Amino acid sequence: MRDDVTNDLGPGEETRHAPVIAVLDRYPFLVLGLLLVGAFTSSGAVPLAGLYVVEGLGQAPWKLSMVMIVQVCVTLLTNRTFGRAIDRGVPVKFLLVTSILCFGTGMLILATFQVYWVYLCIVSILLGVGSGALSVMYSFGRLFAEQTNRDVVKFNGFLRMQTSLGWMVGPAASLSFYGVFGFAATYYVIAGLALIWFAACLLIVPHAFKTHHPNSLKVGEKIPFNFGLLQACVPVFFIGAANVVFVSAMPLYFSTEMGLIASSAGFALTVKCFVEVVAIYFCASLIKRVGERKGMMIAAVLATVFFGLIYHATTLGDVLVLGVLDGIYYGIFAGISMTFVQNFAPDQPGVATSYYVSTLFIGGLIGNLLTGVVASIFDFQTTVLLACGFAMIGGAVLIVMRDASPEERAISAS
């Protein structure tokens, strides 16, 4: 496969591209480390958004929704554009650098100009473009695994592990730093981390690295309709949204309705994230035994069981024990879902990965909105039933849909 990749490069590119790929082939942790740095940096900004708008800028909570809607819409457009660009042979480095620069610039503006309309009209757009880095990094990891003859399923799992590890530390670190130094200093620090992320990208990602698939999109070519790819995104949407609904409601559900200590949600998330990383690590073995679709069905069933049990939980002990099940189901989902979607368009990994990441973003947006609506009409415990229903729908779709065709699997495994 390396010979095929080399032959696809333009004149003069082979000598620049091959040596760096050889280095990454020998030290693949550099690719994983780049994603870990990015996940840690970007996740630090997420929990500050609501606090910044409501407490820092003194605005009504609904104005945060406006910012989030603009940011998610820009992110979806960015993922779509970047995914097509990757499959049309645009170097990955250019797209990743663009996202990182937009993210870092957004952090600097937030720290310097604490004005709501600046956040809504400028920063939300910059952060939307910056969010495209996740899709680009996943595509880069997939292409790198293929070009170095690695197990794609296992390497995809390692990529998701880096995201989980970054999110385990980033939000807690940024909130702790904010509690001591305030918004401006925290955003400046995140901007500094983005500079480190940018430097790491320049050093690690080969300048000419691009897709090696002969069937990738040509400039001006339209993407053919792929019903299987769209269908594969449906269970990802529902299972991902179920997780977002529960995580959004969990702090207030545990503290105000279950009467647990305020830190109970933090303890539960710690247990979940630890188990999740372990579950992701073993997903490759699970896929070899049952396949991606059945593995996703297992995740959906475990999610349904978890939400049903947590609905009846009464003590902190119950919550912590069930946190293990929470981590298992979401770890399986996280470890399998990206490969599951990519298998339906293996010769267009950029487009497939952009569909996957965009589905997660849409699920997150709708999940957050529905959490507030259901909790306002009923209570936070009822949102757990909503999450359970989402998981059941995701499982039902998986039962009736088909697996990726043998031809698609052959391309994916090559």
Q: What average pLDDT does this structure show over 10-30?
A: 65
Contact 358, 79 (CB under 8 A): yes
Q: pLDDT for 230-250, tens place per residue?
A: 999 999 999 999 999 998 888
Q: Where are the domains of the chain?
A: 2-204, 227-413
Q: How crowded is the C-beta side of 296, counted as CA atoms within 13 Å?
A: 30
Which range is least confidently modeled, 81-90, 102-111, 264-273? 264-273
pTM: 0.82
Q: Which two tokens stand for residue 103?
A: 């993210």
User: Within the chain, how many helices (H) and strands (E) appear?
Assistant: 19, 0
pLDDT of residue 223: 62
In angstroms, how far is CA 76 from the centroid of its own chain? 13
Radius of gyration in angstroms for the set of CA atoms belonging to the chain, rounded to a whole number: 21
pLDDT tens-digit series, residues 177-218: 988 999 999 999 999 999 999 999 999 998 888 887 765 555
Kindly report the average pLDDT of the chain as a whole number.
Answer: 86
What is the signed CA dihedral for 101, 105, 107, 109, rounded to 10 degrees? -170
Mean pLDDT of 261-278: 86
Q: Say whether 155 sits in a helix, a strand or coil.
A: helix
Residues in Cβ contact with 404 at an 8 Å cutoff, skipping those fewer than 6 apart: 228, 292, 343, 344, 346, 412
Structure tokens at 316: 């902190």
pLDDT recorded at residue 219 = 57
Q: Provide the pLDDT for residue 411.
A: 47
**How far is 84 from 219, CA to CA, in rounded Å?**
9
Q: Considering the domain 227-413, what is its CATH architecture?
A: Up-down Bundle (1.20)
Task: For 30-69, give one letter per residue: b (16+ CB within 10 A) or e.
Answer: ebbebbbbbbbbbbbbeebbeebbeebbebeeebbbebbe
C-alpha span between 336 and 320 (Å, rounded): 25
pLDDT, residue 2, reads 41
Which one of 1.20.1250.20, 3.40.50.720, 3.40.605.10, 1.10.3720.10 gives the CATH number of domain 2-204? 1.20.1250.20
The predicted pLDDT at position 19 comes to 62
> pLDDT tens digits for 310-336?
999 999 999 999 999 999 999 999 999
CA distance 291 to 134: 25
State the Cα–Cα distance between residues 335 and 158, nearest whole angstrom.
8
